[in-house]
Amino acid sequence: MTSRSCLTVILAAGEGTRMKSELPKVLHMIAGLPIVAHVAKAVTGAGGSDIALVVGKGAEKVEAAVRTIAPHVSVHEQTERLGTAHAALAARDAIARGYDDVLVVFGDTPLIETAALAQARARLADGADVVVMGFRPAVPNGYGRLIEKDGRLVAIREEKDASAEEKQIGLCNGGLMALRGKSALSLLDRITNNNANGEYYLTDVVEIANAGGQNVVAIEISPDNVIGINTRAELAEAEAIWQNRKRRDMMMAGVTMHAPETVFFSHDTLVESDAILEPNIVFGPGVTVARGAVIHAFCYFEGAKIGANANVGPFARLRPGADLAEKSKVGNFVEVKNAVVGIGAKVNHLTYIGDATIGAAANIGAGAITCNYDGYNKHLTEIGANVFVGSNTSLVAPVKIGDNAYVASGSVITANVPADALAFGRARQEIKEGRAIELRARYAAAKLAKKAD
C-alpha cells in the first residue's frame, strides 16, 4: 500500500426521511453492522483510516458506530444541510491538517469496496488532482453524466442540464471523489450555490479544477459500489448484494455450501476451509467455524465458536458463549448458551445446556436440561470427562458431576456427584406382580354394572 497520508471525509448528515425511522439512516444494519460502519471499514482497508465524520441528526450514535472501526474519528457537525460540498467543508479543520489524499465518500453507500477506493487513490498518486468515481447503471436516468475529453473529465452534467447527445453517455457520477490534499480546500472553497436548488454541489469541483488547469479524471467502478440507501427496500437489496459477495468469498476460500442463497452471514463471520454449510443457516454476530466442521440444515448461531470437525444440527441454536470443541457433536433441537462442550462430547437431542462445562467425550442424553436459573441468579453446571448423563435428566445448578460418573435417566440432580459414581436421582420403580389382571377385571365388572342400570 502507498505511504501517502489520507483523510476520509464521510458525509452522513442526511436525515434519511424516506426510511421512516427514529434511527438515523446510516445506523440501519447490513449483515449486523451499521451502514456507516461498512463505509468506515472499506476506507480503512484503503488506508483512509483517518476519518472526519460529518453528522447532523443522531450524532452521538453515528459517531459511536464509526468509532468501533476507526477509534480516532473526528466529528464535525453540519448544522444546516446546504449540499454535499457544504457538508465536506464542515470538516475544514480536518482537511486543513494537510494530507496527501482526501477521499470524500457518502455515509449511505455501504457497498463501496476497498479496491475501488484504492484505485482512486492510485490515480492521485499518478498525478491526478481530482478523481471522480463513475459507474454505468443499467438505466442512467437521474444521474449526472461524466463528460470526458482526451482521457480527462471535463464536466459532470446533471440530467436536467444535459443535451440529447450528452444523455447518451452511460458513464455516470457515483458521487464519491478523491482530491489531492494540497488543493482540496481551495477547490471546495470556490464552490458556490448558484444553481436551481441553491445548494453547494461537490460535483462543481470538476469544472473549477479544470478551469485552474488541474488534472481531473474519472475511474469506472462496478455499479454495486455506489448504491445509496434511501428506503427499507434499498436496504434489503443492499443486504442481498452483500450476502452474495460474502457467499462467494466463502466458497472461494474453500467453504462448501450446498445452497449458498439460503445461508446468511454476519459482517464478522469467520468460516475456515473445508467446513460444510448445509442449507438454511443464519449467522448472527461473532461466530467462528473451524476447519472441517459440518453444519447441518436449519441452524441459528450468534456469539459462538465451533471447533474443527465439530458436527452441529440440524435445528441447533448456539447462543453467545457457546464453545464447541473439536469433534464435538450438538444435534437437533439443542440449545447451547455460555457453555463449553468438550472434545468429542455429544449433546445429540432435545437438550438445553446453559452456563455449563462439559468434559471431553461426555455423552448427554436426550431431553437433559441444565437448570441454570433460579429466578434470580444464574449458576454453573460442571460435567466432567466421560460422564454419561441419562435421558430426561435435570441438572439443578450449581452442581458438579465428576469424571466418568453415570447419571441414571430421569434423575433430578441437586447435589454433586463424585467421580466414577452412579447417581440415581428419582423414585425407585415398584413392581406389583399380577396387579394389571386384577385391575382389568375390576374395570370390566364396573362397565357391566353400568349397562345393567
Q: Is 82 in the site for ligand UD1 (CB under 6 A)?
A: yes
How far apart, in whole angstroms, are the C-alpha atoms of residue 82 and residue 400?
A: 66
Indicate whether 135 belongs to the interface with ligand UD1 (CB under 6 A).
no
Nearer to ligand UD1 among residue 105 and residue 423 (C-beta): 105
Q: What is the total count of residues that contact Mg ion (CB under 5 A)? A: 1
Could you give the 3-state DSSP secondary structure of residue 434? coil
Give the position of cell 449483515. Answer: 31
Least separation in angstroms between residue 143's CB and Mg ion is 10
Tell me: does residue 137 bind Mg ion (CB under 5 A).
no
Distance CA(255)–CA(233), nearest Å, equals 30
Single residue of 13, 43, 102, 169 touching ligand UD1 by CB under 6 A:
13
Interaction of residue 54 with ligand UD1, rule CB under 6 A:
yes
Q: Could you say whether residue 201 binds ligand UD1 (CB under 6 A)?
A: yes
Q: How far is the CB of 182 from ligand UD1 (least distance, A)?
A: 22
In whole angstroms, how far apart are CA 89 and each of 26, 86, 164, 182, 204?
A: 20, 5, 34, 15, 14
- Cβ-count burial 88-125 (b if 16+ within 10 Å, e if not): bbbbeebbeeebbbbbbbbbbbbbbbeebbbbbbbbbe
Q: Taking CB within 5 to 8 Å according to partner kind, which of Mg ion, ligand UD1, none is near residue 370?
A: none
By a kind-dependent CB cut-off of 5 to 8 A, residue 83 interacts, out of ligand UD1, Mg ion, none, with ligand UD1
Minimum separation from the CB atom of position 165 to Mg ion (A): 26
Taking the C-alpha atoms of residue 20 and residue 232, their distance in angstroms, rounded to an integer, is 9
Q: Which residue from 33, 87, 217, 316 is in contact with ligand UD1, where contact means CB under 6 A?
A: 87
DSSP 135-161: E--SS-TTSPEEEEETTEEEEEE-GGG
User: Should residue 83 be labelled a site residue for ligand UD1 when binding is judged by CB under 6 A?
Assistant: yes
Question: CB-wise, 228 or 367, nearer to Mg ion?
Answer: 228
Taking phi over 0 as left and psi of -120 to 50 as alpha, with beta for the rest, 35 belongs to alpha
Stretch that binds ligand UD1, among 200-208, 315-323, 335-343, 431-439 (CB under 6 A): 200-208
Least Å from the CB of residue 205 to ligand UD1 = 9
Residue 72 is among the residues annotated as catalytic for this protein: no
Asked whether 6 and 218 are in contact (CB, 8 A), the reply is no
Task: Look at residue 82 and give the partner it binds from ligand UD1, Mg ion, none, a contact being a CB closer than 5 to 8 Å depending on partner kind.
Answer: ligand UD1
Q: Which amino acid is at 223?
A: P
228 near Mg ion, judged by CB under 5 A: yes
Lookup: cell for 419:
467421580
The residue at minimum Cβ distance from Mg ion is 228
CB of 267 to ligand UD1, least distance (A): 20
Residues 389 and 395 sit within 8 Å (Cβ to Cβ): yes
Residue 203 engages ligand UD1 in binding (rule: CB under 6 A): yes
The site map against ligand UD1 for 137-156 (x = CB under 6 A) is: ------xx------------
Residue 367 touching Mg ion (CB under 5 A): no
177 binding ligand UD1? (CB under 6 A): no
Of residues 171, 144, 169, 170, the one with CA closest to residue 158: 144
Residue 90: closest CA among 80, 99, 98? 80
Q: Nearest approach, Cβ of 47 to ligand UD1 (angstroms)?
A: 22
List 76, 86, 258, 349, catalytic entry: 349
Asked if the bond preceding 110 is cis, omega within 30° of 0, the reply is: no
The angle at the Cα of 376, spanning 371 to 377, to the nearest 5 degrees, equals 60
Contact residues: ligand UD1, CB under 6 A: 11-14, 54, 78, 81-84, 86-87, 106-108, 143-144, 173-175, 201-203, 228
Catalytic residue numbers, as ranges: 349
Contact residues: Mg ion, CB under 5 A: 228
